[in-house]
């Protein structure tokens, strides 16, 4: 009965998405991000001088509106290159490729910072659910789910030794 009630009230969606994102993606790729940044820095010593940006910056728009092209979303962001790919056999897919893009981001003082940036992709699912009649998520419910996703993911990552200091969550309106 409790399970049915929470399913009807859609309470488990964000929680499940956060765990799936962590177990099925972040736990796999985050340990490799720093290594990729170190490799890139050795090959391009002028670009990645600031070690504190050597992590995956995960964007979490609370609107769940995820733009596929970061350069179009913000003119202060410029694509630089892709970091070294990680290839693993995963869930029946041979040689599954994981890669991250490196961007140059201009701050308020026009200083450039180089870092790997991407959206939290499960937010696309929350957004799509709010657009689909079958899921029937209201804008308010979507916002609550986005906040719950962020809090859950933050809690999961704080407890993860494998992912320590390899990420930065950036939630924004």
Q: Name the DSSP class of 25.
A: I
Q: Under CATH, which architecture does the 1-171 domain have?
A: 3-Layer(aba) Sandwich (3.40)
Q: Where are the domains of the chain?
A: 1-171
Lowest mean pLDDT among 29-43, 53-67, 128-142, 145-159: 128-142
Which residues are within 8 A (CB) of 17 and not within 5 positions of it... i.e. 6 or more apart? 122, 125, 126, 149
> Strand 112-119 vs strand 56-61: parallel, antiparallel, or unpaired?
parallel
pTM of the model: 0.89
Tens digit of each residue's pLDDT (9 = 90 or more) over 59-100: 999 999 999 999 999 999 999 999 999 898 999 999 999 999
| Alpha-carbon separation of residue 8 from 2, 43, 82, 118, 134 (angstroms) | 10, 53, 42, 31, 12
Residue 85 burial (CB count, 10 A): 12
């Amino acid at each position: 009965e409790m399970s049915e009630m929470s399913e009807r009230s859609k309470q488990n969606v964000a929680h499940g998405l956060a765990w799936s994102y962590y177990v099925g993606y972040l736990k796999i790729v985050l340990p490799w991000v720093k290594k990729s940044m170190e490799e890139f820095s050795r090959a391009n010593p002028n670009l990645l001088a600031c070690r504190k940006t050597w992590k995956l910056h995960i964007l979490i728009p609370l609107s769940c509106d995820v733009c596929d092209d970061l350069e179009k979303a913000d003119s202060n962001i410029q694509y630089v290159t892709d970091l070294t790919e990680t290839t693993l056999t995963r869930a029946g897919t041979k040689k599954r490729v994981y890669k991250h893009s490196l961007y140059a981001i201009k701050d308020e003082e026009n200083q450039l910072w180089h870092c790997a940036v991407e959206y939290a992709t499960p937010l696309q699912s929350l957004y799509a659910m709010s657009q689909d009649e079958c899921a029937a998520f209201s804008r308010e419910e979507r916002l609550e789910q986005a906040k719950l996703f962020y809090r859950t993911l933050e809690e999961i990552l704080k407890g993860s030794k494998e992912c320590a200091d390899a990420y930065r969550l950036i939630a924004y309106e």
